[in-house]
A and B are shown apart, each in its own frame.
Chain A
Amino acid sequence: MAALCYLPSCHRSVSKLLSNSKSQGHLHPNLSVSNSNPNPNISGVGLQTRRRSSSFSIKASTTAFAPLEHSESTSLGEIIRSDFPILRQKVNGRDLVYLDNAATSQKPNYVLKALKDYYESSNSNVHRGVHYLSQKATTAYENAREKIADFINASDHTEIVFTRNATEAINLVANSWGDLNLGFGDEILLTVAEHHSAIVPWQMVAKKKGASLKYIGLTAGEVPDIEQLKKALSKKTKLVVTHHVSNTLGSVLPIEDIVIWSHEVGARVLLDACQSVPHMMVDVQKLNVDFLVASSHKMCGPTGIGFLYGKSNLLSSMPPFLGGGEMISDVFQDYSTYAEPPSRFEAGTPAIAEAIGLGAAIEYLSGIGMQRIHDYERELADYLYYSLTSIPNVRVYGPAPSEIIHRAALCSFNVENIHPTDIATILNEEYGVAIRSGHHCAQPLHRYFGVNASARASLYFYNTKEEVDHFIEALRETIKFFSI
């Protein structure tokens, strides 16, 4: 088999899906381990090493999933959860109910196998050798980059820079693009609902360059005030930093409109897509954002890898962030010349296995279909929201869902007179339910609401309505416990 297959055998995960499916719909693996690429979600562009010229090319196979057919009797969560071995365990004798997906997602066998297979059969440093293993590893690594590019519809794979995570990606933009383009009096526009990783790097570079940060508040409906954002844009605005989906409010912003308004005043837009890319189709060309960041571990991929998308012309104009090997062209004693993007921003040996694992995660998600995932999570989102708000003395943050306002499948909430940490502790100890308590890396937002912390339940496509029911019942009992 000349094909390079880091992808685990589909048979095991698919057979589980088939055996667990009670519906007529089945997952149909397309097990073509040849040079063909039947998966429309994954570009079939030449799977050769790109960044180093080499006469040796290895073609990688792709295994593809056809979309699941709709089932009326079995939800996506019920069908798919057998792919996630970690979900089978017990906590203090109770079945684990994992509702902390906004913090990190669980990994399917498909991804776990990809990681294992890489280290068992292909491990070698990338872009650095001419031997067989090096070529194998390099091809798989670059294939992963292409998968990401296709997944978000980037115009070219060179617009994808691998980073450690979204936080590092934002720091890269702040210290490279920001350092070059920001000056005294310039403004960076953010919302009060931004994650700390989208705030702190800009505080640091703004301090150095004499720029300032301006914050957009919330409407009465508890979503970022888009009208206020429009009015705040001016010739001084050089950058708008905004989330796509809020990790605390669950709200979704109209990014296309924000980009149009921002570009009209000459401002760039950096989109924090950590809570959107894992859950819905994101098309960077349609949105026309200048930068986009996301983390692998929130989308069924391993920790330790994320990516920055940047428009080609922008990345080409940016100086390096970290210095070292790989990002150079020539090194002399007193100066160096730098490589083209994305290499320019990928100093040192990268997280090769993790990048390949992320590629496998994208294949897995694409096989299910992002639209299907999104539709299922819409149902879960509404179910979670209305279930929570039916409990007395529970206050959920963010907008109420409606025909025009869609919430993500997460709810941050507080219970009157009970600290969220106490809630989360009892839910864990007594009921096996995992939620998060704290500020969710959104202290400015919590301060805006006048609270120090909140609890948060966040779902993913492997959760079920039954799990939501269990959480709600456990929460009711927990509230009773503290009320005695």
Chain B
Amino acid sequence: MNCFTLATELILNPNPNHKHAPSRSRRLRRRCSYHFVLRCSAAPLVSGSAAIAVAAIATVTESDLESAADACNLRLRRLSDEFKSLPEPIDRVKRLLFYADDLPPFPDADRIPSNRVTGCTAQVWLSARLDALGRMRFAADSDSEITRGFCACLISVVDGARPEDVLAMHAEDLADLNVVGVAGRTHSRVNTWHNVLISMQRSARALIAEGEGKPMVDSFPSLVIGGDGIRANGRYADAQVSLSGQSMGT
């Protein structure tokens, strides 16, 4: 187990007996006294994939880390700081492409309609599963390199988190990740952060529902107007289902 994995495990698996109901105010009051450095290697950006060598120096005080949600927030903050340290947009794009190179191959079998992230101008696929520890594991791919970079960054924040912690994230939390273009608050179709996060959260809800034994409903991407009728999808379907009291998968 390398340093990164060890540090990750320590962060994601705090004392299991510790009861914590995270709240925003509590997180704000909490002092984070551990030092965790997640640093991308200074490997030159040459042609082809460049492996990310992560040096993780972790001095974790378990009492200071009350939930895996803190890990998500910390990683988000580190990511935000990383990109903020690059004042030129082109350097931020290069860093995104660096992250993109590190995305593992996405299985062709997972390129199915239910794994499509809707709302993006590029094609984006996202798959999600729970690992043996009940943590979410994500994989993603896109036909756009910059979008792959976005996905890689977002996965680096939430991969290994509990489903509840993924659900607790807000699109506004990503606003500081002003990598390229307008800051993350915009609701346009090009806001990949927002669209991918929403898909991740749908996956989290589905996995929670599955774990609770609730019936799953097939997911569909959007309102489909076809020759054989108009079928409800996405938020429209969510609204219909919520009114009928059924559990809705993704």
Residues of A whose CB lies within 8 Å of any CB of B are 92, 200, 203-204, 207, 212, 418-419, 421-422, 425-426, 428-430, 437-439, 452-453, 481-482, 484
- B144 x A419 contact (CB < 8 A): yes
Residues of B whose CB lies within 8 Å of any CB of A are 45, 47, 89-90, 93, 121-123, 142-147, 180-181, 189-190, 225, 227, 229-230
How far does the alpha carbon of A145 sit from the alpha carbon of B122 in the complex, in Å?
41
- A422 x B144 contact (CB < 8 A): yes
Residues on B with beta carbons closer than 8 Å to the beta carbon of A418 = 145
Q: Please name 4 further chain A to chain B contacts, defined as beta carbons within 8 Å, in addition to the given A418-B145, A419-B147, A430-B90, sorted by A numbering.
A: A204-B230, A425-B181, A426-B93, A439-B121
Q: A429-B180, A484-B47 are in contact. Are A421 and B146 (CB under 8 A)?
A: yes
Best-surrounded residue of A200, A418, A425, A484 (most CB of chain B within 10 A): A425
Cβ-neighbour of A429 out of B45, B93, B145, B230 (below 8 A):
B93
- A425 x B121 contact (CB < 8 A): no
How far does the alpha carbon of A338 sit from the alpha carbon of B240 in the complex, in Å?
36
Residues on A with beta carbons closer than 8 Å to the beta carbon of B147 = 419, 421-422
- The residue of chain B having its C-beta at the shortest distance from the C-beta of A91 within the complex is B89
Majority-rule SS of A interface residues: helix
How far does the alpha carbon of A482 sit from the alpha carbon of B142 in the complex, in Å?
15
Cβ-neighbour of B225 out of A204, A437, A484 (below 8 A):
A204
- A438 x B189 contact (CB < 8 A): yes
- A425 x B122 contact (CB < 8 A): no
Cβ-neighbour of A452 out of B123, B189, B225, B229 (below 8 A):
B123
Residues on A with beta carbons closer than 8 Å to the beta carbon of B47 = 484
Residues on A with beta carbons closer than 8 Å to the beta carbon of B225 = 200, 203-204, 207
- A92 x B89 contact (CB < 8 A): yes
Q: Give, as a whole number of angstroms, the nearest-CB distance from B116 to chain A.
A: 11
How far does the alpha carbon of A484 sit from the alpha carbon of B142 in the complex, in Å?
19
Q: Give, as a whole number of angstroms, the nearest-CB distance from A247 to chain B.
A: 16
- A482 x B145 contact (CB < 8 A): yes
Residues on A with beta carbons closer than 8 Å to the beta carbon of B123 = 452
- The residue of chain A having its C-beta at the shortest distance from the C-beta of B90 within the complex is A430
- B89 x A422 contact (CB < 8 A): no
How far does the alpha carbon of A428 sit from the alpha carbon of B92 in the complex, in Å?
13
- A207 x B181 contact (CB < 8 A): no
Q: Give, as a whole number of angstroms, the nearest-CB distance from B12 to chain A.
A: 33
How far does the alpha carbon of A193 sit from the alpha carbon of B147 in the complex, in Å?
27
How far does the alpha carbon of A355 sit from the alpha carbon of B213 in the complex, in Å?
57
- B181 x A421 contact (CB < 8 A): no
Cβ-neighbour of B121 out of A204, A207, A421, A430 (below 8 A):
A421
How far does the alpha carbon of A437 sit from the alpha carbon of B190 in the complex, in Å?
10
Residues on A with beta carbons closer than 8 Å to the beta carbon of B45 = 484
Q: A204-B225, A425-B181 are in contact. Are A419 and B122 (CB under 8 A)?
A: yes
- B145 x A419 contact (CB < 8 A): yes
Residues on A with beta carbons closer than 8 Å to the beta carbon of B90 = 426, 429-430, 481
- B93 x A421 contact (CB < 8 A): no
Q: Give, as a whole number of angstroms, the nearest-CB distance from A22 to chain B.
A: 35
- B230 x A425 contact (CB < 8 A): no
Q: Give, as a whole number of angstroms, the nearest-CB distance from B156 to chain A.
A: 20
How far does the alpha carbon of A428 sit from the alpha carbon of B180 in the complex, in Å?
9
Residues on A with beta carbons closer than 8 Å to the beta carbon of B143 = 419, 452
Cβ-neighbour of B180 out of A203, A425, A453, A484 (below 8 A):
A425
Q: Give, as a whole number of angstroms, the nearest-CB distance from B95 to chain A.
A: 13
Q: Which 5 A-B pairs have the closest CB atoms?
A: A419-B144, A429-B89, A438-B121, A421-B144, A421-B122
How far does the alpha carbon of A349 sit from the alpha carbon of B130 in the complex, in Å?
54
Task: Give 9 A-B contacts (CB < 8 Å), ordered by A residue.
Answer: A419-B122, A425-B180, A425-B181, A428-B181, A430-B89, A438-B121, A439-B121, A453-B121, A484-B47
Residues on B with beta carbons closer than 8 Å to the beta carbon of A482 = 145
- B122 x A453 contact (CB < 8 A): yes
Q: Give, as a whole number of angstroms, the nearest-CB distance from B98 to chain A.
A: 12
Residues on A with beta carbons closer than 8 Å to the beta carbon of B230 = 204, 207
How far does the alpha carbon of A435 sit from the alpha carbon of B123 in the complex, in Å?
19
Q: Give, as a whole number of angstroms, the nearest-CB distance from B162 to chain A.
A: 32
Cβ-neighbour of A425 out of B93, B227, B229 (below 8 A):
B93
- A421 x B190 contact (CB < 8 A): yes
Q: Give, as a whole number of angstroms, the nearest-CB distance from A179 to chain B.
A: 16
Q: Give, as a whole number of angstroms, the nearest-CB distance from B154 to chain A.
A: 17
- The residue of chain B having its C-beta at the shortest distance from the C-beta of A482 within the complex is B145
- B229 x A207 contact (CB < 8 A): yes
How far does the alpha carbon of A71 sit from the alpha carbon of B147 in the complex, in Å?
46
- The residue of chain B having its C-beta at the shortest distance from the C-beta of A452 within the complex is B123
- B145 x A422 contact (CB < 8 A): yes
- The residue of chain A having its C-beta at the shortest distance from the C-beta of B97 within the complex is A482
Q: A207-B230, A429-B180, A429-B181 are in contact. Are A422 and B121 (CB under 8 A)?
A: no
Residues on B with beta carbons closer than 8 Å to the beta carbon of A207 = 225, 227, 229-230
